[in-house]
Amino acid sequence: MHFELQAECPHTGARAGLIHTAHGVIETPVFMPVGTQATVKGVTQRDLAGELDAKIILANTYHLFLRPGHELIRELGGLHKFMSWPRAILTDSGGFQVFSLSDLRKVTDQGVLFRSHLDGDAHLFTPESTVDVQLALGSDIIMPLDECIAYPASREAAYQAMRRTVNWAHAAYGHYRRRVEESASQPALFPIVQGSMFADLRRACAAELTDLDAPGYAVGGLSVGEPRSLSLEMTEVTLGILPRDRPRYVMGVGMPEELPEYVARGVDMMDCVLPSRNARNGYLFTSSGRVVIKQARYRDDVAPIDPNCQCYTCRTYSRAYLRHLYQAGEILFATLATLHNLNYYLDIMRQIRQAIELGTFPAYLDGIRNRAAVE
């Protein structure tokens, strides 16, 4: 994997680039749809590549480790082949899911012991084992085990988790370097910056991780309940330390109007379950605000979700029909709504990238801010 910086905004931190992987070239800034269990819920791989033209998706190590199991996926030729997705895949380390889904977890310096949310079986994730799991999956970009703590956290707790994250990153990197030579896949490993909402801890963590000379870096531990301004502030603080010539990935953000804010701070990659999860719950993003499809006002509304949208759903179906599908609990609703919301996010990223290339990103950002202020 290598990162090619193509254009930088002279007035903000925004950049446009290309990430070259064994499974295609990714235009950045990029939003990665979340395919938790080796599927972006309700969307065929054909539509993911065709209608949406997603260049990279995210899959969850924790879920795939538990079911169907990484060894099975390795036997079947890796995750790309297993899920028939020829383009790039990033996998997280599973750490976030351990902290959010499983109970009876116990964190030690060695790793994290947890019980499966599926059957209660006990498992241990270590910095080394999660690298092995991701090598078995054959992802293009892999993440080391980190300790993601809740918000708010005491400075002491944040410090301990940051230190453990740095130590685990070094352990993961050492193991990765030994294992990757004999591995069929040659993924890039992106260390994760932690430090809760303490700027000095974030800076210290970022500085220590740059010693690894990794091909890219991630910012974790955001979107855990803190005010949005704080997420942006921590991103800015962290990115000031990270090397300019490597892609920067902020994990688990954000709302549509936040995407250009992250880009303005130098972020190249983002992912979030919001567009797909909100879609299934009937919350649809549009260029003129949110459409809550169950509302009675859409009962006889023949307009598409968003008249400015060119997605399959908006080209084909009315709000009235979509409301009917939602009210009737029809599966097709999830598919059509997810296609729309993901297209909305990917379109924003395409607009952002174009604005950076054309040198009009500051004006684009102002437009988004003004619209958000009015709404």
Site for a second copy (CB under 8 A): which residue of 119, 121, 229, 328?
A: 328
Task: Please name the amino acid found at residue 183.
Answer: S
Q: H or E segment at 197?
A: none
Known catalytic residue: 271? yes
Among residues 47, 140, 268, 271, which one is catalytic?
Answer: 271
Nearest distance from C-beta of residue 322 to a second copy, angstroms = 11
β-strand pairing of 248-250 with 269-271:
parallel
Known catalytic residue: 213? no
3-class DSSP assignment, residue 191:
coil
Residue 58 interacting with a second copy (CB under 8 A): no
3-class DSSP assignment, residue 107:
strand
Site for a second copy (CB under 8 A): which residue of 335, 343, 347, 349?
A: 335
Which tokens belong to 260? 């250009």
Using the contact rule CB under 8 A, the part of the chain among 71-79, 126-134, 171-179, 237-245 near a second copy is: 71-79
Which tokens belong to 338? 């997810």
CB-nearer residue toward a second copy: 315 or 371: 315
CB-nearer residue toward a second copy: 214 or 336: 336
Q: In what order do the strands lie in the sheet with 106-107?
A: 106-107, 112-115, 122-125
Q: What are phi and psi for residue 275, nearest 5 degrees?
A: -60, -40
Distance of CA 176 to the CA centre of its chain: 22
Residue 334 interacting with a second copy (CB under 8 A): yes
Residue 341 interacting with a second copy (CB under 8 A): no
Using the contact rule CB under 8 A, the part of the chain among 75-83, 94-102, 103-111, 127-135 near a second copy is: 75-83
Residue 317 interacting with a second copy (CB under 8 A): yes
What is the footprint of a second copy within residues 252-311 (CB under 8 A)?
299-300, 302
Do residues 315 and 336 touch, judged by C-beta distance below 8 A?
Answer: no
Residue 330 interacting with a second copy (CB under 8 A): yes
Nearest distance from C-beta of residue 129 to a second copy, angstroms = 21
Number of other CB atoms surrounding residue 226 within 10 Å = 18
Site for a second copy (CB under 8 A): which residue of 257, 320, 357, 369?
A: 320
Distance, CA of 197 to CA of 205 (rounded, Å):
12
CA distances in angstroms from 27 to 19, 197, 258, 324, listed in the order given: 7, 30, 19, 37
Contact positions toward a second copy, by CB under 8 A? Answer: 37-39, 41-46, 63, 67-68, 72, 75-77, 82-84, 299-300, 302, 312, 316-318, 320-321, 323-325, 327-328, 330-332, 334-336
Catalytic residues: 92, 271
